Structure 1
Amino acid sequence: MPCDAREPGRPGRHATAALAAILLCLTSGLYAAPPAGDVEFMNKAAQAGQMEIDASKLAESKATSGAVKRFAGQMLQDHRAAAEDLKRLANAKGVQLPTTPAPADQKKLEAMGALQGATFDKQYADEVGVKAHNDAVALFRKAASDARDSDVRDFAKKTLPTLEHHLESARKMASEVSR
Structure 2
Amino acid sequence: MTHGLVKAGLVVIVSLSSWGAWARETPSHQFITKAIQGNLAEISLGQLAQERGGTDGVKSFGQMLVQDHSAAKDQATAAATSAQVTPPTEPSRAQKSEHDRLSKLSGDAFDRQFIAHMVTDHKKDIAEYQKEAKRSDGAISDYAKGALPTLQKHLDTAQSLEKQEKAAR
Q: Give me the CA root mean square deviation.
A: 1.8
Contact between 1:87 and 1:97, CA under 8 Å: does it hold in 2? yes
Residue 140 in 1 paired to residue 129 in 2?
yes
The alignment-based identity, stated in percent, is 31
State the number of aligned residues: 147
Of residues 71, 79, 85, the one that matches 2:75 is 85
1:130 is aligned with what amino acid? V
1:93 shift after superposition? 2.1
Of residues 131, 151, 163, the one that matches 2:120 is 131
TM-score, with length taken from structure 1: 0.77
State how 1:163-174 maps to structure 2 within 5 Å.
163-174=151-162
Of residues 90, 96, 106, the one that matches 1:116 is 106
2:69 is aligned with what amino acid? H
2:37 is matched with: 47
1:170 is aligned with what amino acid? A
Deviations 1:19-66 (A, max 9, x none): xxxxxxxxxxxx996661110000111111111111111111111111
1:97 shift after superposition? 1.5
Deviations 1:87-133 (A, max 9, x none): 11112222112122121121111011011210011111111x20111
1:154 is matched with: 142
Structure possessing the higher radius of gyration over alpha carbons: 1
Residue 97 in 1 paired to residue 87 in 2?
yes
Residue 61 in 1 paired to residue 51 in 2?
yes
1:148 shift after superposition? 4.1
After the TM superposition, list the runs of 4 or more consecutive aligned residues in structure 1 that deviate by more than 3 angstroms: 31-35
1:77 shift after superposition? 0.6
Structure 2 portions without partners, runs of 5+:
1-19
- SS of 2:54's partner is coil
Return closer, same or farther for 1:118/1:171 CA change in 2, 3 Å cut-off: same
TM-score, with length taken from structure 2: 0.81
